[in-house]
Every structure is written in structure tokens, then in C-alpha cells.
Amino acid sequence: MTRTVAPAVDAAEPDGSPSVTRSAPDGNKADRNLPWRAIVLFGVKILGVGLSFLMNIVLVRLIGVEGFGLFSFAVSALMILEIIAIFGFESVLVREIAASRERQDTARVRGLVLFCCGAVLLLSLIGATLTTALVKFVLPSTWVYGNTLTIAVWALPASALLVATMSVLEGHRWPFFGQIVSVVLRPGFILAGALIYVSADWSMTAETAAGIMVFAYGFGLLLLIGYLLYLLGGAFWRGRIKIEPKHWFSTAAGFAFVNAAFIITEQTDVMMLAALSDPASVGIYRAAARYGQVLSFALLAAMPVLRPMLSTAFTRGDREALHKGCRQVALISLVVGLPIATAFVLFGDIFMGLFGPEFVEGSTALSILVAGQLLAIAAGPVGVLMAMTGHERKVAVAIGLSFICNVVLNFFLIPLFNLEGAATSTAISLAVWNIIMLVWVIRHMRINPTLIGRPIRG
């Protein structure tokens, strides 16, 4: 974790109010240390995924395969609702805070924090309320997923605001504690809550697991807000506030399309399995998907340090830094991803069997998902490169095409091949949107973000 002190007052802003110094790490030094910072964050991700798998295994043993399927559906629905609640403001926070700090515009940073976090909180409360009303008063009372969903959805305000708080930290180049809370402490809190619950000899259900998740997310949010307030210090809040609602809403809308398309595409297989198959299949597939996502963790781990770096490099017009940062992340992702992919393909039965004997049938689906993730890694961080350089709407178009492909393939392949059909649909759609964006980046931005890429002149 980066050690930082409360920002000190230096120059005055145009209206005479105090500004603050950059208390985050020096930008150029942070850019040079990007590979090491990414590796540290990858270590955090690995620790988090270990706890997450342990949490899932414990939940399966406590609530059964069908109960885990109900819980998995609620988690997938929560992730989709989270994207709606965040509405792209988390990416606005990262990109605009990084760019504003490059220009030393502290008044704009204040406005970003207050406006975007307030909007996320309001949208998340509306989303949780409307979802609860939909399940209670519109959908049939016999809907098997209803009770679990109406409890899990109240984790939405804490979950969405936690993402926004993490984005504020990321924009200031303080990403580490936010990642610890999100990927390590949250599953750790759920695991601890489940173990405490059963130690009292109470019966564990999918609804109980959803309730524990609500409390775990809330406690994680309180920790992260306290940490952010400590780092910003009192001096940060003194001074004028610059708010640009029209510009930020417009930018957020572009990011919202990207996030919605991505998450909906990522969760389409789970949602369509729930519609076309049974809860047990949903639970088994969810476990396989969690393993498949491990391959992308090296790429995801680099995002908190890569995104503000790309934003500041783009603000400076430094295309060489954009290329170098993407290539470094592609190298780390490939070095980490290949051994993991090999292990999952060769020993998929063993990994899936950790959840229970019923889960072994998901090993073929795991191998298919691994292949799709490897193709995404090979393309490099094309999505974040485009999003942090003002091309988020083009990303949304690419992912939208991928979503259509995913839905169509799922509709035909799930009834025929069940788990393997869902996995094939996801792998193909993931490859489609990465290839589309890679071609666009090379042709129009003149940057090759892959490992074998070289700077493109002209």
C-alpha cells in the first residue's frame, strides 16, 4: 500500500481558495514502476480469488448445489444492476481525476468526487427499490429466484458506492487498499459470516448467504470511505468546487454503454442458463466461470495503475507511453495466464471437484472458457486503452455486437449442449469484441497493444 500523508496547501486557486499538492506518487515514477505495481496488485488479486473460491466452496457445502445456483443468479443480477447504478461514473472519476491532477485543477477534482459519488448513491438506491418492487408485485410469487434476489439487491448501494470510492483512489494513484477491500476483505467477510452463522447451529440457505453478503459489502464500504477521507485530509475540502454536470453525464453515458454491454455479455450465459436450464447447472457453470476469470486477473490487476497512466499520457500527447504501458501489461498477462490455462485444461476435473463431485461435469466448459480468455489476453488491454483516450462509445459498439452474438449462440447452443453450449457462446463472443477493438486500435490510433506489437510510425 502506498504510504501517503494528508495533502498540504500550496498555491492558491483563481478565487483565492487553497489548492492541494499532489500527494499521490509522482506520475513519471509511477509510470516507470507500472510492471511492479501491477505485479503487487496481481498478488492481491490471487489472494482474493483464493478467498473467493474458499467462500464459494464453503457456501456449496452449506447450502447445496441448487442453493448455490440461486445465490449465483442473485450475484449475477446484482452485477448487472451495479453497472446501471454506477452509470459509467467510476470511469469518469478515474480518467477525469487523473487528467485534472495533471493540470493541477483541484476545484474540479472536488467537484468530481462529490457529484459522481452522489449520483452513484442515488441511482443505486433507486435500482434496489425498483428491483424489490418488481419481484414483489410484478413477477410470480412462485419464481424460485425471487426471495434470494430481493435480499441480495440491497447490497447494491454499498457495492456501487464502493466501486466509486475505489475509482477516486485510483484516479489519485492510491489503488492498493481499495483492491484489498474489494477482492480480499469482501469475500473474507462473507466467509467469516457464513462460518459464524453455522457455528451457532442455524440452518444456512441461499437467502441467508445473500443477507450476509449485504452486511459484508456495507462493512467494506465503511472501511474504504474512512481510508479515503484520511488520505484526502481536511485541506482537500476547503476551496471552491467546479462541477461540469453536462460534460460528466455525457462522458458517463459513453462509459455506461461500455460497462453495461460488457457485464451483460459476461453474465448472459448465467442468466440464459437460468432461463433455459436448471439451478444446479447455473451453480456448476458459475464455478467454472470463476476459474476461467482467473486468467484475466493479471490484466485486471494492472487496471488500477494502467488507467490513470493512460489518461495522463493521453493528456500529454505521449503516444510512446501509451504503447509501452499496454505492452508491459500484455507481457505480464501472458506470463501469468499461460501456466494457469495449462493447469486448468490438464487438471480441470480436480479443480472443479473441489466444489463437490457434482461439479466435475463442468470441466469441459472450463476448458472452453479458458480458450476464450487466452484470446482476450492475446489482444492486449484494448478496451481500457480506448476508454481512457475518449473512444468509449466505440468500445460499446464492439461489445454490443459481441452481446448480440452471445445471445444468439446461447439461444441455440444451451438447449443442445447445456454447460458446454454456454461456454462456447461466451468464448466466441469474447474473441469477437477483442478482435474488433484490436483492429480498430491498430488502424486508427496507430498503437499495437499486443505483446508482439511494435510502435507504428506515422
For the ranges 25-34, 167-176, 256-265, 364-373, which has the lowest average pLDDT? 25-34
pLDDT of residue 454: 62
CA distance 89 to 315: 19
Tell me if residue 9 falls in helix, strand or coil: strand
Distance CA 6, CA 235 (A): 8
Which one has a higher pLDDT value, 320 or 193? Answer: 193
Per-residue pLDDT at 326 exceeds 60: yes
pLDDT tens string 210-265: 999 999 999 999 999 999 999 888 888 888 899 998 888 888 887 777 776 666 66
pLDDT at position 208 over 50: yes
Q: Which of 30-39, 76-85, 261-270, 310-319 has the highest mean pLDDT?
A: 76-85
Amino acid identity, residue 69? G
| Domain segments of the chain as ranges | 32-445
Question: What one-character-per-residue DSSP string does 26-84 give?
Answer: PHHHHHHTHHHHHHHHHHHHHHHHHHHHHHHHHHHHHHHHHHHHHHHHHHHHHHHHHHH
Better pLDDT: 435 or 316? 435
**The model's pTM:** 0.69
| pLDDT on residue 50 | 84
Q: What is the mean pLDDT of residues 286-305?
A: 77
What does the DSSP 8-state code read for residue 357?
G
The answer to whether residue 166 scores a pLDDT higher than 90 is yes
> Does 250 or 455 have the greater pLDDT score?
250
The average pLDDT across 139-153 equals 91
| Mean pLDDT along residues 10-36 | 48
C-alpha cell at 319: 503516444
For the chain, what percentages of helix, strand and coil (3-state, to nearest 5) are there?
80, 0, 20
pLDDT for 298 equals 65
pLDDT band, very low/low/confident/very high, at 160 (cuts 50, 70, 90)? very high
Q: Share the mean pLDDT of the chain.
A: 83
pLDDT digits (tens, 9 = 90+) for 377-419: 888 888 888 877 878 778 778 877 888 888 899 999 999 988 9
pLDDT beyond 80 at 444:
no
4/302: higher pLDDT? 302
Q: Please give the average per-residue pLDDT across 190-207, as a whole number.
A: 85
